[in-house]
Structure 1
Amino acid sequence: MKVEMTGMDEVLRNLDAMGQKGRRIENKALLEAGKMVQEAIQKETPEDSGTLKRSIQVSNVKTKDGMKHVLVGPDKTGWYGSFVEFGTVKMRPTPFMSRGYEQVKGNVITTILLEMRKGMRL
C-alpha cells in the first residue's frame, strides 16, 4: 500500500534547505506515521499465540527512486502473515493489514505534516 503526499512542496523545500536537520525531521515524521499504522494493524491482527501481532514492525526509513518511505508489516517471526491476510486454498483470508491501514490512512498525511511542522517550529 502506498500513500503519496501532494501539496507539500513548500514544506519539503524548507526541510531540504535545512540540510541534515531537515532530513532528521522528515525521518522522524515518517517513523511516527509508521507507528500509527503499526498500532492500527496490530489492533486488527488475529490472536492465536500473539506471535503475529508482536511481529508487526516499522522499518527504518528507506529511499527508493528518490522517495523516502517506511515499511510496516510482519518481521521474520510473522512469516505466515501473508497467508492470514490473503488466505490459502484451505483458509479464508483475514485482511488484518488492509483493515488496519484503511482505518488510519487519512490521518497518516496529517501526522507527517504535523511532525514536520513541529520539527521546523512552525
Structure 2
Amino acid sequence: MVSGLEELQRNLVKLQLNNKKAAKRAVNRVSELVSDNLRSNTPYDANASDNLRDDIKTTGITGSAKGEISKDIGFGKKTGWRFHFPEFGTTKQAPQGFAQRTINQSQSEALAIYEEELRKGNQL
C-alpha cells in the first residue's frame, strides 16, 4: 500500500526505469536471435569473395529518448546493395525469400522473449 504522493511517484519512476531496462534487454536478446537466424537462412556461395552472410550488421539501441527502443538488423554497405536479388529474384533467378523466412521463423520466439523480459521488469 502506498502511503503518500512521494512514494507513489518513486514507485512510478522505478517501474518506468525497470521497463526501459527490460525493454533494452529484450531488444538485445531478440536482435541476437534474429541475427543468428538471418545468418543461417542467408544463401552462401563458397566460391564468392563477398557473401551476404558474412556482412550482417546490427546497430546500437536507438529511440530510447522517445520510448521506442529498437535495433536495426541488416547487411552492410559492402554487400547490402545486392540483397534484393536473391530475396526477390530476377528474370534468371527464382526468389529465395530468406529474409521473410527469417522473420516468420523468429516471430514467436521473439514475442516470448519480450513477454518474459517485461514480466521480469514489472516486478518491483
Please, what TM-score do these two structures have when normalized by structure 2?
A: 0.68
Deviations 1:82-112 (A, max 9, x none): 2221122333211111112211211111112
CA drift of 1:60 comes to 1.9
Task: Show the counterpart of 2:21.
Answer: 24
Judged with a 3 Å threshold, the aligned counterparts in structure 2 of structure 1 residues 40 and 16 are, in CA distance, closer, same or farther, namely: farther
Structure 1: gaps spanning 5 or more residues: 1-13
The question of whether the paired residues in 2 share the 8 Å contact of 1:15 and 1:22 is answered with no
Judged with a 3 Å threshold, the aligned counterparts in structure 2 of structure 1 residues 102 and 121 are, in CA distance, closer, same or farther, namely: same
Distance 1:77 1:46 in 2: 16
Distance 2:12 2:73 in 1: 24
RMSD value over aligned CA atoms?
2.9
Match of 1:117 among 98, 119, 124: 119
Counterpart check, 1:62 vs 2:62? yes
Q: Which one-letter code corresponds to 2:83 in the other structure?
A: G
Structure 2: gaps spanning 5 or more residues: 1-10
Runs of 4+ in 1 over 6 A off after TM superposition: none
Higher relative strand content: 1
The question of whether the paired residues in 2 share the 8 Å contact of 1:44 and 1:96 is answered with yes
Task: Show the counterpart of 1:94.
Answer: 96
CA drift of 1:73 comes to 1.6
Matches within 5 A, 1:11-90: 17-20=14-17, 22-48=19-45, 49=48, 51-63=51-63, 67-79=68-80, 80-90=82-92
Distance 1:15 1:113 in 2: 20
The question of whether the paired residues in 2 share the 8 Å contact of 1:45 and 1:53 is answered with yes
Q: Which one-letter code corresponds to 2:115 in the other structure?
A: L
Size of the alignment, in residue pairs? 109
The question of whether the paired residues in 2 share the 8 Å contact of 1:87 and 1:93 is answered with yes
Distance 1:86 1:68 in 2: 29
Q: Secondary structure at the match of 2:78?
A: helix
Identity fraction in percent: 25
